[in-house]
Copies of this chain bind each other. A is one copy, B any other.
Amino acid sequence: MNGGEQTIIFHNKPRIVAGYGIVGPKEGEGPLADYFDEIAKDDLFDQKSYEKAECKMHLLAIERAIERAGVNESDMCALLSGDLLNQIISSSFSARELDIPFLGLYNACSTFGEALILGSIMIDGGSMQRVACSTSSHFSTAERQYRYPLELGTQMTPTAQWTVTGSGCSVLCREGEGPFVAAATVGKVVDYDITDANNMGAAMAPAAAYTIATHLKETDRKADYYDAIVTGDLGIFGSEMLHQLLLSEGIDIAHVHMDCGKMIFDEKQKVHMGGSGAGCSSSVFNTYFLQKLHSGELRKILFVPTGALLSKVSSLQGESIPGIAHAVAIEVE
């Protein structure tokens, strides 16, 4: 990849040899219930705080993914993780329990895409043999950190999304069986001057549109090269906005587009525009999509986790909400 380009083609086919996805009870009542590897009965995970609960869930996802890959913790070269908590404590405290070199990441809800890209770069270039990529989010930790105390029972605004309680981890290897990472497009920060912190879909859709359009252009592909173009957590509003933005550039993805945030909940679950959070795309990817890739129902997907790069302070200081999206092309032979 040269300057001015954003897409990397991987020549050594980094393999996703295992994935694991774990979610909370509400997600476990949604349409993807049969796909998740584990559904917690209680979103406290037997811990004393929601933050400790998120950390336990995150750690479980990593440990089980490594176990499923048939390797030991000591076989792993690196752990690439991130989450939405201040100073990514869910990731850091998970890493504390593991004997694996740790590289912490933060690109909001697109972090899982960032992790897959960095992991693939490491494996493709030969510097590492085996890495774990993971993210998490938790409704109760996100709600009280970014919005209001849970006890207030604040109502969601119509365009709001529900933060997913979930975590997913993929194990990438240089050798092994499984879908492979064929290419990736690293996102740039895109800002359409959206200031409504209750409309993340609108803040992220322009970044998703930009990354998808760039990926198709740089790889000289049409949207239907892929069986599915899967965004992270644009939700209902953001997905519609994405379609419109791409249509204006002559790209129609509506027939192949799926969104993890739309898929994970049912409309009856009162989540307004759908699910969101760094654990939304990672828990859905490592279960539903890996299973569909293994079964051959999907053979080529473009996975595009999306993130909104705000903080409470940036919003209070009048800043708009920039978005970012990373695209990862995953295929099976």
Residues of chain A whose beta carbon lies under 8 Å from any beta carbon of chain B: 1-6, 8, 10, 48-49, 51-52, 71-72, 74-78, 82, 84-89, 92-93, 95-96, 98-108, 111, 114, 117-118, 121-122, 124-130, 145, 186-189, 191, 309-314, 317, 319, 322, 324
Show 8 A/B contacts (Cβ-Cβ < 8 Å), sorted by A: A3-B74, A87-B108, A92-B309, A96-B191, A101-B188, A102-B188, A103-B107, A103-B118
Contact A188 B100 (CB under 8 A): yes
Given contacts A3-B77, A95-B188, 9 further A-B contacts (CB under 8 A): A1-B128, A8-B127, A87-B314, A89-B309, A93-B309, A102-B186, A102-B188, A103-B105, A121-B128
* Pairs A-B, 3 closest by C-beta atoms: A125-B125, A3-B75, A101-B186
Assembly stoichiometry (copies): 2
The answer to whether A89 and B313 touch across the interface, beta carbons within 8 angstroms, is yes
Q: Are B129 and A322 in contact (CB under 8 A)?
A: no
- Whether the pair B102, A104 counts as a contact (CB closer than 8 A) is no
Contact of A322 among B71, B92, B126, B311 (CB under 8 A): B92
Instruction: Find A124's partner among B84, B127, B311 (CB 8 Å cutoff).
Output: B127
A71 shortest CB reach to chain B, Å: 7
Whether B86 lies near A86 (C-beta < 8 A) is yes
A270 to B313 CA separation, bound complex (whole angstroms): 29
- Residues A101 and B6 in contact, CB atoms below 8 Å apart: yes
Whether B189 pairs with A96 at a CB distance below 8 angstroms is yes
**Chain B residue contacts of A317, Cβ below 8 A:** 48-49, 51-52
Enumerate chain B residues within 8 angstroms of A117, measured Cβ to Cβ.
103
* Distance (whole angstroms) from the CB of A74 to the closest CB of chain B: 5
Task: For residue A198, give the distance in angstroms from its CB to the closest CB of chain B.
Answer: 17
Q: Which residues of B contact A191 (CB under 8 A)?
A: 96
Q: A87 with B99: in contact, given A3-B129, A4-B75 (CB under 8 Å)?
A: no
Cα A106 to Cα B122 with chains together (Å): 18
A82 → chain B, closest Cβ, in Å? 7
CB distance from A199 to the nearest CB of B (A): 18
Bound-state Cα–Cα, A324 to B78, Å:
14
Other-chain residue from B74, B124, B189 in contact with A102 (beta carbon distance below 8 A): B189
Q: Complex formed: what's the CA distance from A10 to B128 in Å?
A: 12
A314, B77: Cα distance in complex, Å: 27
Docked-complex contact B3 and A89, CB < 8 angstroms: no
